[in-house]
C-alpha cells in the first residue's frame, strides 16, 4: 500500500471461476479489523512507469479509482450473472437448446434499469445470440406459463429457413427450464415482461 505497487485481484463469481482485475491498488488498511480496501485503476496508467512514479502521479486519484472500481463491479456483476444463468440452464439456449457457450448470452427478463432488474438467475434466460436479439426486440416473448410466443406479424412472414425453423416453429412450444425449481423464472418479472411483449405486438 505504501509503495502503491499494482496487484492483480481475482474475484470469484462462482466456485472455480474468477474474473481478474488489473491493476488494483490497496487504498486503506484497517489493521484492527484485519481488512483492507482495494481500488481499480487503468492498466495504461502503470505501463512503462516505475512504482515511485505511480505513487506520485496525481492523475491516479482516489476519485478516479473509485469511479473505475464501481464500473468494474458493474461489469463483474454481469459476468457473475452470465455464469450463474448459463449454469442453471446447463449451458444451452432455453429456446433452441444449442449448447455452444460462445453463442450463448444471459438475457435479462427485466433490464438493469428496472426496479426489479436484479442480476439474479430468476431474472435471467440462457439464450443464443439470435434468440436474445429476438427477445429484446419483442419478436418473441415468454408467457407466464413458460410458452414461447412469436409476434403475430412475424408468424405470417415468408423468408428463409432461419425464420421458419428458428423463430416461427417455436410458437406455442415450452421453454426448457432449469432442473432446480428455485432457479425458475420469477413469475412477477415474467408477467411484466410478457405484457411488454404483447404491447409491442
User: Nearest CA to 109 among 70, 141, 71, 65?
Assistant: 141
Exposed (0-12), middle (13-18) or buried (19+): which is 199, by Cβ within 10 Å?
exposed
Kindly list the domain boundaries of the chain, sorted by start residue.
Answer: 7-87, 90-200
Lowest mean per-residue pLDDT among 3-7, 40-44, 82-86 = 40-44
Average pLDDT over every residue of 4-23: 83
Query: What would the pLDDT profile of 135-162 be if each residue is shown by its tens digit?
Result: 999 999 999 999 999 999 999 998 889 9
The answer to whether the CB of 88 falls within 8 A of the CB of 180 is: yes
How high is the mean pLDDT of the chain?
85
33-71: pLDDT as tens digits: 999 888 777 544 444 444 445 444 545 566 666 666 666
Report whether 142 contacts 175 (CB < 8 A): yes
First-to-last C-alpha distance (Å) of the chain: 57
Whether the pLDDT of residue 17 is over 70: the answer is yes
Q: How far apart are CA 83 and CA 186, in angstroms?
A: 18
pTM equals 0.70
Checking if the pLDDT of 201 tops 50, the result is yes
| pLDDT tens per residue, range 73-83 | 666 677 889 99
The pLDDT, as a whole number, for residue 46 is 41
State residue 164's pLDDT score.
93
* Longest CA–CA separation in the chain, Å: 70
DSSP string, 90-128: TTS-TTT----GGGEEEEESS-TTSTT--SSGGGEEEEE
Q: How high is the pLDDT of residue 51?
A: 47
C-alpha grid cell for residue 194?
410478457
Amino acid at each position: 500500500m505504501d509503495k502503491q505497487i499494482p496487484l492483480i485481484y481475482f474475484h470469484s463469481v462462482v466456485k472455480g471461476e474468477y474474473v481478474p482485475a488489473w491493476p488494483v491498488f490497496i487504498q486503506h488498511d484497517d489493521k484492527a479489523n484485519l481488512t483492507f480496501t482495494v481500488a481499480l485503476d487503468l492498466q495504461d496508467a502503470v505501463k512503462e512507469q516505475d512504482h515511485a512514479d505511480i505513487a506520485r502521479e496525481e492523475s491516479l486519484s482516489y476519485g478516479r479509482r473509485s469511479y473505475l472500481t464501481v464500473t468494474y463491479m458493474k461489469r463483474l456483476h454481469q459476468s457473475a450473472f452470465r455464469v450463474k444463468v448459463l449454469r442453471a440452464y446447463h449451458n444451452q439456449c432455453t429456446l433452441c437448446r444449442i449448447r455452444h457457450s460462445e453463442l450463448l448470452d444471459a438475457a435479462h427478463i427485466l433490464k438493469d434499469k428496472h426496479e426489479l432488474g436484479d442480476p439474479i438467475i430468476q431474472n435471467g434466460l440462457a439464450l443464443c445470440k439470435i434468440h436474445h436479439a429476438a427477445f429484446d426486440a419483442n419478436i418473441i416473448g415468454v408467457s407466464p406459463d413458460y410458452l414461447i410466443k412469436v409476434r403475430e406479424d412475424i408468424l405470417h412472414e415468408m423468408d428463409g429457413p432461419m425464420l421458419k425453423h428458428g423463430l416461427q416453429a417455436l410458437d406455442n412450444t415450452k421453454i426448457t427450464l432449469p432442473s432446480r425449481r428455485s432457479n425458475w423464472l420469477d413469475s412477477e418479472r415474467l408477467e411484466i415482461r410478457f405484457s411488454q411483449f404483447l404491447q409491442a405486438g
